[in-house]
């Protein structure tokens, strides 16, 4: 009698767990309630040129969305490759291959409306309204620059290439279902940001476009939450089976890679286009295609930050096969 009772309890708990997981699997991909920006692409050549600069320069879209089989070639040469995707940023809660963002209909973003593309960059929600893994830093890109990016994407030729489906692991399924929400912009993103050699514009580029902040500041990779000092380094990033430690790059901080650098040295270093540790995930080539004024603005921002005394050691922690 007692035994049957126990079995019923165990069976009940089991069914409850299976049921919860089934609900979580559906809930993880539910349509999220975020705004649909009313932007539309422009045909204006200056707008398209600005978008092209952002996509191949500071926005480094190809670092993730470039055709995966040509990525190493791109990293070494900066030759433009189709943005057909396939690369997976390693994260602990599932596999999230970067989608094809060429104009291909069906496999690319040709069928997404301008507003839906804007929504994915600003509100982190994909074509069907499902939450995207928050890997892109563009929430606070200005209206003007977002329109420029979309306008340029619309001029790219379409290349058909199926992307592997994304797959959440059980932890990811539970987090997407019950815990994580798409990361919203901070406040109201600016309509436009004046371009100048200023720390304000440098901060805009470094935080919202080029993502220096997102890699060089320590954070929890499962949730994206920051806990380190700005640009103080320490984040461990897996890239092609190796594990890299992102260095401290504060100016004047003891043990920082940029402890004794000046503006000219910073620009000269970027112009080499080469990682200090081969195979690193740092987008050196896109950074190298930025113009001098933008690099000066970046420098002005980095130099204005609090120096952090921290030596994060060698750039490579574990060398992959």
Residues of this chain that bind ligand HEC (CB under 6 A): 55, 59-61, 63-65, 89, 96, 98-99, 101, 109, 117, 120, 126-127, 132-133, 135-136, 149, 153, 166, 206, 210-212, 215-216, 237, 244, 246-247, 249, 257-258, 269, 275-277, 280-283, 287, 298, 315
Distance CA 247, CA 250 (A): 9
Dmax (CA) of the chain: 83
In whole angstroms, how close is the CB of 207 to ligand HEC at the nearest point? Answer: 9
**Residues in Cβ contact with 77 at an 8 Å cutoff, skipping those fewer than 6 apart:** 285
In whole angstroms, how close is the CB of 182 to ligand HEC at the nearest point? Answer: 10
Nearer to ligand HEC, 80 or 127 (CB): 127
Phi, psi of 61 (to 5 degrees): -55, -35
In whole angstroms, how close is the CB of 83 to ligand HEC at the nearest point? Answer: 8
In whole angstroms, how close is the CB of 11 to ligand HEC at the nearest point? Answer: 36
Nearer to ligand HEC, 166 or 296 (CB): 166
Nearer to ligand HEC, 60 or 310 (CB): 60
Nearer to ligand HEC, 20 or 115 (CB): 115
In whole angstroms, how close is the CB of 283 to ligand HEC at the nearest point? Answer: 6
In whole angstroms, how close is the CB of 13 to ligand HEC at the nearest point? Answer: 32
- DSSP assignment string, 248-291: P--TT-TT-TTTT--HHHHHHHHHH---SSTT-SS-HHHHHTS-
In whole angstroms, how close is the CB of 251 to ligand HEC at the nearest point? Answer: 10
Nearer to ligand HEC, 16 or 178 (CB): 178
Nearer to ligand HEC, 109 or 308 (CB): 109
Angle at 260 between CA 257 and CA 266, to 5 degrees: 70
Q: Is 219 helix (H, G, I), strand (E, B) or coil?
A: strand
In whole angstroms, how close is the CB of 206 to ligand HEC at the nearest point? Answer: 6
For residues 253-267, b (16+ Cβ closer than 10 Å) or e, as one string?
beebbbbebebeebb
Number of continuous H segments (helices) and E segments (strands) in the chain: 12, 5
Nearer to ligand HEC, 24 or 64 (CB): 64
Nearer to ligand HEC, 50 or 216 (CB): 216
Angle between helix 143-155 and helix 114-123 axes, rounded to 10 deg: 130
Long-range contacts made by residues 174-178, C-beta under 8 angstroms, separation at least 24?
174/21, 174/24, 175/93, 175/222, 175/223, 176/27, 176/28, 176/29, 176/93, 176/131, 177/23, 177/24, 177/25, 177/27, 177/28, 178/24, 178/27
């Amino acid at each position: 009698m007692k035994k049957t009772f126990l079995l019923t309890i165990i069976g009940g708990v089991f069914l409850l767990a299976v049921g919860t997981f089934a609900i979580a699997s559906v809930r993880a991909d539910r349509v999220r309630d975020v705004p649909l920006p009313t932007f539309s692409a422009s045909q204006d050549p200056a707008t398209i040129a600005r978008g092209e600069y952002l996509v191949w320069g500071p926005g480094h879209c190809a670092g993730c969305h470039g055709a995966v089989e040509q990525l190493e070639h791109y990293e070494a040469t900066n030759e433009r490759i189709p943005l057909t995707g396939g690369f997976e940023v390693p994260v602990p809660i599932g596999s999230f291959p970067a989608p094809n963002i060429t104009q291909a209909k069906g496999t690319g973003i040709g069928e997404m409306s301008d507003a839906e593309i804007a929504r994915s960059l600003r509100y982190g929600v994909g074509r069907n309204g499902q939450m995207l893994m928050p890997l892109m830093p563009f929430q606070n890109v200005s209206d003007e620059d977002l329109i420029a990016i979309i306008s340029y994407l619309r001029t790219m030729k379409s290349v058909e290439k199926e992307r592997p489906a994304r797959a959440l692991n059980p932890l990811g399924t539970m987090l997407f279902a019950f815990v994580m929400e798409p990361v919203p912009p901070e406040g109201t993103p600016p309509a436009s940001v004046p371009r100048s050699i200023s720390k304000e514009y440098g901060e805009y580029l470094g935080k919202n476009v080029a993502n220096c902040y997102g890699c060089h500041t320590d954070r929890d990779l499962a949730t994206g939450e920051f806990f380190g000092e700005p640009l103080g380094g320490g984040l461990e990033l897996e890239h092609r089976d190796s594990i890299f430690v992102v260095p401290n790059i504060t100016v004047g901080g003891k043990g920082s890679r940029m402890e004794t650098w000046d503006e000219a040295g910073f620009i000269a270093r970027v112009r080499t286009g080469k990682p200090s540790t081969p195979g690193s995930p740092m987008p050196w080539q896109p950074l190298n295609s930025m113009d001098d004024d933008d690099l000066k603005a970046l420098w002005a921002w980095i130099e204005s930050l609090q120096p952090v005394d921290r030596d994060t050691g060698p750039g490579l922690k574990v060398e992959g096969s």
